Amino acid sequence: MKNDLNIVGKRVARSDSLAKVTGEARYTSDIKLPNMLVGKVLRSPYPHARIIRIDLSQALKVPGVKAAISGFDAYGIKWGVFRYTQDHAMLPTDKVRYIGEDVAAVAAVDEETALAALSYIKVDYEPLPAVFDPIESMKDGAPQIHKEYKNNINIHIHIDVGEVDKAMENAFLVREDTFKAAGEAYAMMEPYAVVASYKNGFLDLWMPNAGPHVRAKALSNLLKMPLNKVRVRHINSGGAFGGRSEVAPADLVASLLSIKADRPVKLTHSREENATSSRQIHDIIATVKTGMKKDGTIVAKDYKVIYNGGAYSSTGPIATSIPFYVYEECYRFPNVRYNGYRVFTNKGIRGMYGCHGRAFLAGNEAQMDLMAKELGMDPAEIRLKNGLKPGEMTATKSKITSCGLKETIEAASEKTDFKKRWARTTRFKGIGMGCVAIMCGFPMGFRSGSSCYVKINDDGQVTLVSGLVDNGQGNESMLIQVASEVLGVPMEDINLICADTEVTNLDPGSYSQAAAFVGANAVKAACENARKRIVAIAAEKLGVKEADIGLKDRMAYFVKEPDKKMPISWVVREAFFRGEPIVATGSFFPNIDFEREWVSRPWGQMAGTFSFGTSVAEVVIDPETGKVTVPRFTAAHDCGHPINPMAVEGQMEGSILQAGVATVTEGNLWDEGYLLNPDLLEYKVPLACDMPDMETIIVSSHDPAGPFGAKEGGLTVRMNAYSAVACAVTNATGELFEELPLTPDRMLRLLERKKGVK
């Protein structure tokens, strides 16, 4: 690891902090454009019904209404992440498939008029049988939600490595358990909003998103417009967590309304609409079968996992695969079979999540703890035995480069005195450990890479242009910090232009954990190319070799005689005089197998690198009420070399909240197709009073391909926090959980099964 870094690796205030804490940061709902209209959506009252007729004529007669649209005003193009999953028209013309689905919309001069106009839209429906349970949906004779998908199976991921059945037969210890988890809401503080402004053939859009270029391309296709006429602009985002990853029906609705009215339109979801009519998180049923040797070595894994996908494909193949991949990237599986099914039901659309797969991941880890106990081992020991090491391959043929899994297990164990406390269980108190790995960027075709443009202005100030987007993680500040390190100017001298599709090049976005490893690498490459130009001129002017020039504190200097120096701004002006302004581009593509495909070819290098993490949770169970509290939580995370340790710690702490404490609180409640808790009163997100004492430990493995050794920061904690809490409950009770979240009623049933628990 380099020891001569000036700002990378230092704890610095994020560049966006001041605007956000003072309220000056603008979000989509803050946008006010001249003559802007208010959009409102008419939604389906049925979970499944054929659309017979949509009549907008009376709504258009309401004074103040400037436009009304339905799916018949669109082009009939269906969206999907992959060609073989294009099944979502955003505005249906054939039938509705969930309660709350967008059917028609109006744009009016004010909200009151728009809401009133919705009642004048006439829609004739023919109700159809509906199905809400994925197991029922897969049965012969179940209501068919999409005719193209037999038995409503949207995606089937089949992975079979080695000889699973034979290995199970020869295993010393075999255990099989089934775990369930309710779907969750993303529960962003900012309800979804979009502003569309169509003028002279050009469409400008503002909305919270995780990938502006991906969003612009989708809308270009849906609207049959050239890509350079669909511009997604930069805006702040009030939370994402995976829920802003894909184009939304509201994007198409606002765009069509603006085109029809020839005026800007703002469409803002209510809190309830944000829950019922934007993406949610998959319900999961995971059957986990594990075979072990007597020494605790895992010899076989056999999985059947069913995901409730709701009404449309969304990220189908990715969502069906990711829980397995983040687990196989952590542990050695010589024989493994995975059958993952994403199944259509008449519920809202499901998408990706920053801690996707909690029943699968927590079930694996809790089951492993009981098996370890039966073999006379402790959880840390069995994880170290089976954990992957640098240079090893995953079951699906991804090579692990940098790997700090061992160090995270040891650091978290030492900090919590884990082994002694796990063995010395106190009545109704427990401690548990969870481990996982995360890929840093996965195959997205030519969108897997990032490009950056940098120019040095005549006063020495720097302008960076990157397609990367920030959803609150600190991505913008990270890019500025990397540029500051390379160019030798303070962060305040750097202006970042990002997340605007018309002025930036392609970037994966805040998606697939690619921001640091891919986006920041592109910035580093561009700035290094600009640095070479600065160094060449400075060396010439100072009469020294280029190798002896350093850049720091806005100065180019002779490293052997630091007083021999000149301002970088002088160098830049000299470049202008020569007609060679200092501008540069840089790109980065991770070393991945672009032939790898989620369904047809699920093997090959998944990502350029992987991050690792271990979480340890402590729980207390009230035997009278069944309430579980988490008084302390310790997380150790291998993020390579952290660019900003304070930002990484913030992500780790947020992950403990989002996935650790949420293990005992968060879950959607349904009555058939009706979501019963679509607001933040009944949907129990953790509050400040629910937060544990937190200890965060950064483990540096210095990734050889990462920018200054960095890789993803924080998400491993989000993926393994559920597991740590579930394992702590197993430690306290000796029983495996059956379903998440671990609500009091479920805990009382678990305690009832384990009478006389010590």
Closest CA to 69 of 92, 51, 47, 94: 92
Residue type, 735: E
Domains and CATH numbers, the chain: 17-24+449-588 (3.30.365.10), 31-128+193-268 (3.90.1170.50), 280-443+596-753 (3.30.365.10)
CA–CA separation, 501 and 23 (whole Å): 26
Distance, C-alpha 421 to centroid of its chain = 34
Given a contact cutoff of 8 angstroms between Cβ atoms, the answer to whether 594 and 711 are in contact is: no
Helix axes 358-374, 379-386, angle to 10 degrees: 110
Residue type, 242: G
In 387-490, alpha helices (H): 405-416, 418-423, 475-487
Q: What is the DSSP string of 6-69?
A: SSTTS----TTHHHHHHT-S-BGGG---TT-EEEEEEE-SSSSEEEEEEE-HHHHTSTTEEEEE
Residue 455: DSSP 8-state: E
CA–CA separation, 727 and 155 (whole Å): 30
Q: Which residue has the tokens 């990002």?
A: 498
What is the phi-psi region of residue 391: left when phi exceeds 0, alpha when psi lies from -120 to 50, beta otherwise? left
Q: CA angle, corner 604, sides to 603 and 609, nearest 5?
A: 120
Given a contact cutoff of 8 angstroms between Cβ atoms, the answer to whether 366 and 670 are in contact is: no
Encoded tokens for 477: 């500040």
Structural element, H or E, at residue 636: strand 628-638
Encoded tokens for 149: 């998908």
Mean pLDDT per 10-residue segment, the chain (758 residues): 80 92 94 98 98 98 98 95 94 98 98 98 98 98 96 98 98 98 93 97 96 95 97 94 91 98 98 94 97 98 98 93 97 98 96 90 98 97 98 97 97 97 90 97 87 96 96 93 98 96 91 91 98 98 97 97 96 96 97 94 96 98 96 97 96 93 94 95 92 96 94 92 97 95 96 69
Rg, the chain, Cα only: 27
Name residue 399's beta-bridge partners.
Answer: 393
Closest CA to 611 of 588, 642, 632: 642
CA quadruple 475, 479, 482, 488: dihedral sign: negative
Name residue 490's beta-bridge partners.
Answer: none
User: Omega of the bond prior to 741 within 30 degrees of 0, cis?
Assistant: yes
Largest interatomic CA distance in the chain: 85
Pairing of strands 429-439, 610-621: antiparallel
pTM (two decimals): 0.95
Nearest 10 degrees: Cα torsion 382, 384, 386, 391: 180
CA–CA separation, 42 and 194 (whole Å): 16
Structural element, H or E, at residue 222: helix 212-223
Structural element, H or E, at residue 385: helix 379-386
Closest CA to 9 of 481, 519, 487: 481
Q: Which residue has the tokens 């897997």?
A: 448
Residue type, 585: T
Given a contact cutoff of 8 angstroms between Cβ atoms, the answer to whether 285 and 134 are in contact is: yes
Q: Which residue has the tokens 């210890």?
A: 173
Residue type, 196: A
CA–CA separation, 614 and 633 (whole Å): 11
Three-state DSSP at 550 gives strand
Given a contact cutoff of 8 angstroms between Cβ atoms, the answer to whether 549 and 529 are in contact is: no
pLDDT at 758: 41
Encoded tokens for 186: 């993303």
Given a contact cutoff of 8 angstroms between Cβ atoms, the answer to whether 619 and 427 are in contact is: no
Structural element, H or E, at residue 619: strand 610-621
Q: Which residue has the tokens 């061992």?
A: 406
- Which burial class, exposed, middle or buried, applies to 32 when counting CB atoms under 10 A from its CB (0-12, 13-18, 19+)? exposed
Q: Which residue has the tokens 């082009």?
A: 75
Nearest 10 degrees: Cα torsion 649, 654, 655, 658: 170
Given a contact cutoff of 8 angstroms between Cβ atoms, the answer to whether 634 and 668 are in contact is: no
Q: Which residue has the tokens 């040095």?
A: 456
Given a contact cutoff of 8 angstroms between Cβ atoms, the answer to whether 495 and 464 are in contact is: yes
pLDDT at 239: 87
Given a contact cutoff of 8 angstroms between Cβ atoms, the answer to whether 45 and 99 are in contact is: yes
CA–CA separation, 742 and 628 (whole Å): 7
The 3-class secondary structure across 290-346, one letter per residue, is: EEECCCCCEEEEEEEEEEEEECCCCCHHHHHHHHHHHHHCCECCCCEEEEEEEEECC
Q: CA angle, corner 398, sides to 394 and 401, nearest 5?
A: 95
Q: Which residue has the tokens 């994966």?
A: 508
CA–CA separation, 305 and 321 (whole Å): 10
Helix, strand, coil percentages, rounded to 5, for the chain: 30, 25, 40
First to last CA, the chain: 48
Q: How many helices (H) and strands (E) would you count in the chain? A: 19, 31
Closest CA to 601 of 277, 261, 157, 207: 157
